[in-house]
Amino acid sequence: MAQVKTIEWKDDKLILIDCTKLPLKEEYLICKKYSDLAKAIKSLAVRGAPAIGVSAAYGVVLAAIEGEKENNNKEQYMEFIYKAIEQLASTRPTAVNLFWALDRMKMILDINKELSKNKIKEKLLNEANLIYEEDIQCNKNIGKYGNEVIPHRANVLTHCNAGALATAGYGTALGVIRYAHHLGKNIHVYADETRPLLQGARLTTWELQKEDIPVTLITDNMAGYAMKLNKINLVITGADRITANGDTANKIGTYSVALLAKEHNIPFYIAAPISTIDMNLKSGDEIVIEERDNQEVREVFGQAIAPNNIDTFNPAFDVTPNEYITGIITEVGILRPPYNISIKNAMKL
Catalogue the active-site residues: 240
Provide the H-helix boundaries in the chain.
34-42, 49-70, 74-89, 96-111, 117-146, 173-182, 199, 205-210, 223-228, 254-263, 295-298, 339-346
Q: Which of 34, 103, 37 is nearest to 66 (CA)?
A: 34
Query: Which DSSP string do the residues of 162-215 spell out, in sequence order?
Result: -BGGGSSSSBSHHHHHHHHHHTT---EEEEE--TTTTHIIIIIHHHHHHTT--E
Q: Which residues contact 19 (CB under 8 A, 6 or more apart)?
A: 44, 45, 46, 47, 165, 199, 202, 203
Residue 15: which of 25, 27, 23, 3 has the closest Cα?
A: 27
What is the Cα–Cα distance from 198 to 211, expressed in whole angstroms? 20
- At 30, which amino acid appears? I
The amino acid at residue 137 is Q
Secondary element (H or E) of residue 320: strand 317-320
- Of 44, 35, 50, 42, give the one whose Cα is nearest residue 17: 44
First CA to last CA distance, the chain: 35
20 phi and psi angles, rounded to 5 deg: -75, -20
Phi, psi (rounded to 5 degrees) for 66: -65, -40
